[in-house]
C-alpha cells in the first residue's frame, strides 16, 4: 500500500487509532480525523508519515473542510460513531437524529468527498465500520442499530455502483471489542455478553484493524460488497 493515502475517521482512540496504525504499518500515509485536536495531535505524533484534521461527522461543512485540507484520498475508513441509547418508546427525536447524522449520513458525505478522486484514478478502497448489532439488532439501541444496518445497505449499494471503476466497498462488523467506550460497562453486563461469544473472550481493536488492513490491500481486490464479522462467533 505504499504511496496510498488513507483517511480514518474517529482516529483519536480505540478502533480508529488501531486502524490508522495498521495502515501506516502497511506503508500508507495516514490522515487521522476526529473532533479532539489534542488527542489527534498526540496520536499522530506516534505514527510515522501521518497527519491529522479535525472533523465533526454531524456537520456537512466540517466534513467538506476536512477533506479539502486532506487532499486526494485512496482509502477511506468510516469508523467514527456515537451512541445515545434508550428505549424506542421514550427516545427523543434529537437522540435519533444525532446518531443517524453522525454514524450514517456523515459516513455517506465522507464517501461523496472521496469518490470523484477514486473514480478518476480508477482505484479506491472504502471500508465502513458497522457492527454485529446492525445484523442482529439490540434492544435499547434503535437509533444506533438503524445507523449500523444502514451502513451495510450503503456498502452493498455503493459496491454495485462503483465496482466498474476498480473501487471496492466493504464493511467490518465488530462484536464486543474492548475499548474506552466498553470499559465503563458493568461486570454483570460484560459477563452476559461473554456467555454469548463462542470464543469466550472479548475482541481487541487490533482484531478489527487487521480486517480493515486486509480490505485495503491488493489481496482483497476481488472482494466487494462484503460484510466481515469480527465478533468471536457472537453473530453467525
Task: For 54-87, write each residue's pLDDT tens digit.
Answer: 999 999 999 999 999 999 999 999 999 999 999 9
| pLDDT for the residue numbered 190 | 85
Q: How far apart are CA 122 and CA 163, in angstroms?
A: 10
CB 22 within 8 A of CB 77: no
The DSSP secondary-structure symbol of 172 reads: E
Residue 121's φ and ψ, nearest 5 degrees, are -80, -15
Residue 155 lies in a domain: yes
Mean pLDDT of 180-197: 83
- With b meaning 16 or more CB within 10 Å and e meaning fewer, what string describes 84-121? beeeeeebeeebbebbbbbbbbbbebbbebbbebbeee
Query: Residue 74's closest CA among 41, 16, 12, 120?
Result: 120
pLDDT tens-digit map of 85-125: 999 999 999 999 999 999 999 999 999 999 999 999 999 99
| pLDDT for the residue numbered 13 | 95
Q: How confident is the model at residue 146 (pLDDT cuts 50, 70, 90)?
A: very high
Residue 235 lies in a domain: no
Residue 98 lies in a domain: yes
Q: How far apart are CA 58 and CA 23, in angstroms?
A: 25
Would you call 235 a catalytic residue per the annotation?
Answer: no
Residue 236 lies in a domain: no
Structural domain harbouring 82: 5-230
Which residue bears the cell 486532506? 70
Residue 142 lies in a domain: yes
Residue 55 lies in a domain: yes
* Contact partners, residue 226, CB within 8 Å, separation at least 6: 170, 171
Helix (H, G, I), strand (E, B) or coil at 171: strand
Mean pLDDT of 208-222: 98
Domains held by the chain: number: 1
Taking the C-alpha atoms of 64, 19, 78 and 30 in order, what is their torsion angle to the nearest 10 degrees? 20
Q: How far apart are CA 161 and CA 85, in angstroms?
A: 33
Helix (H, G, I), strand (E, B) or coil at 76: strand
Residue 46 lies in a domain: yes
- The pLDDT > 70 percentage for the chain reads 100
CB atoms within 10 A of CB 166: 14
Residue 141 lies in a domain: yes
pLDDT(144) > 70: yes
Q: How far apart are CA 27 and CA 24, in angstroms?
A: 5
Report in angstroms the alpha-carbon separations of 182 from 46, 106, 186, 207, 215.
24, 23, 9, 16, 25
Q: CATH code at 220?
A: 3.40.50.720
Q: Which of 144, 176, 202, 215 is catalytic?
A: 144
Amino acid at each position: 500500500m505504499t504511496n496510498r493515502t488513507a483517511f480514518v475517521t474517529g482516529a483519536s482512540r480505540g478502533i480508529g487509532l488501531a486502524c490508522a496504525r495498521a495502515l501506516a504499518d502497511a506503508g500508507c500515509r495516514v490522515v487521522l480525523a476526529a473532533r479532539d485536536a489534542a488527542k489527534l495531535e498526540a496520536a499522530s505524533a506516534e505514527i510515522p508519515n501521518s497527519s491529522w484534521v479535525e472533523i465533526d461527522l454531524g456537520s456537512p461543512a466540517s466534513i467538506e473542510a476536512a477533506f479539502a485540507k486532506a487532499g486526494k484520498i485512496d482509502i477511506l475508513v468510516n469508523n467514527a460513531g456515537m451512541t445515545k441509547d434508550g428505549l424506542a418508546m421514550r427516545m427523543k427525536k434529537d437522540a435519533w437524529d444525532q446518531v443517524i447524522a453522525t454514524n450514517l449520513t456523515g459516513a455517506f458525505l465522507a464517501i461523496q468527498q472521496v469518490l470523484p478522486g477514486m473514480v478518476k484514478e480508477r482505484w479506491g478502497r472504502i471500508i465502513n465500520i458497522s457492527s454485529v448489532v446492525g445484523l442482529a439488532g439490540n434492544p435499547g439501541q434503535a437509533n444506533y442499530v438503524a445507523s449500523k444496518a444502514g451502513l451495510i445497505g450503503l456498502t452493498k449499494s455503493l459496491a454495485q455502483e462503483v465496482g466498474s471503476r476498480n473501487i471496492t466497498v466493504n464493511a467490518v462488523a465488530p462484536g464486543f471489542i474492548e475499548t474506552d467506550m466498553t470499559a465503563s460497562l458493568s461486570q454483570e453486563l460484560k459477563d452476559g455478553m461473554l456467555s454469548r461469544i463462542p470464543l469466550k473472550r472479548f475482541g481487541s481493536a487490533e482484531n478489527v484493524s487487521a480486517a480493515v488492513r486486509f480490505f485495503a490491500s491488493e489481496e482483497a481486490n476481488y472482494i466487494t460488497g462484503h460484510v466481515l464479522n469480527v465478533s468471536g462467533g457472537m453473530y453467525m
